Amino acid sequence: MLADLEPRVAEQRITLLETLDRVLNKGVVIAGDVTLSVAGVDLIFVGLRLLLSSVETARDLRLGREL
């Protein structure tokens, strides 16, 4: 299932991380009680990043590919 998330080349992989980093961690932040749910996003992203990268690193090692 994670295979679908793996970009094909290293720089695409970085761009995926960049997209996630921007959409999850940046952008307009509204504080206050009007919003329904924004909490916990940072935390989950760190976990995601770890997971994504370890999957990819495993794949890279297998393919003997340079970053």
Partner 1 sequence: MTDESGALATPAPGNGVGWYVYGVIPWSVEVPVTAGIEEGRAVAFIPEGPIMAVASPVSLAVFDSEPLRRNMEDLRWLAEKVGRHEAVVEAMMARRPVLPMKFCTIFRSPDAVRRMLREHAARFQEALEFVREKEEWGVKGFAHRDCLREAVLRRDPELHEMAEQLARSARARPGSAFFLKRRMDDLAEQRRMEREAELVREAVEALRPSVVQLAINSPLRVRGSNADPSASAADGDPGEEIVLNLACLVLRVEVQTFLAEVRRWNEAGADQGLRLVASGPWPPYNFSPRLGNDAR
Binding site for partner 1 (CB under 8 A): 1-2, 4-5, 11, 13-32, 34-41, 44, 46, 48-54, 56-57, 60, 66-67
Q: How many residues does the chain have?
A: 67
Handedness of CA 15, 20, 26, 28 (dihedral sign): positive
Write down the least CB distance from residue 48 to partner 1, Å: 6
Nearest distance from residue 62's CB to partner 1, in Å? 14
Nearer to partner 1, 1 or 8 (CB): 1
Three-class DSSP category at 55: helix
Angstrom distance (rounded) from CA 12 to CA 29: 27
